[in-house]
Amino acid sequence: MSLSRTVIAALILACAGCAAPQAVESVPRPVGGPATTPHAAERGMAMAAAKCGGCHAVGPTGDSPLAAAPPLRDIANLYPPTQLQEAFAEGVVTGHAAMPEFEFQPDEINDLIAWLETLRTE
């Protein structure tokens, strides 16, 4: 095979590999990627209300039920939500004794981060 035929054959093989079906992975896709659906933020808001709303304000306005608990919008503005992904996966632990430890599943993390992104004002 000449050099040009070798190059063409390599390109065809590379393109064929791109067209091959991809294996389904159990690893979550990055936030904002294809795994984030239009309803991710809605699910994230519902989860935040259920798991966090007893202490934190979970919406764009309002005070936290527990004065020592910052509103989630403040947390979203203090830390880019995508930087919280690892903390949510490993379990949220904080310095005050009243807060229970939470550990979120990959889809829950994507949804929660999608919600937190909607709360950012800065």
CATH 2.60.120 for domain 35-119 = no
pLDDT for the residue numbered 7: 34
The string of pLDDT tens digits covering residues 15-28 is: 333 333 333 333 33
- Report pLDDT for 97: 66
Q: What is the pLDDT of residues 107-116, one digit of tens each?
A: 999 999 999 9
Handedness of CA 59, 109, 87, 49 (dihedral sign): positive
Domain residue limits, the chain: 35-119
pLDDT in tens, 33-43: 445 567 999 99
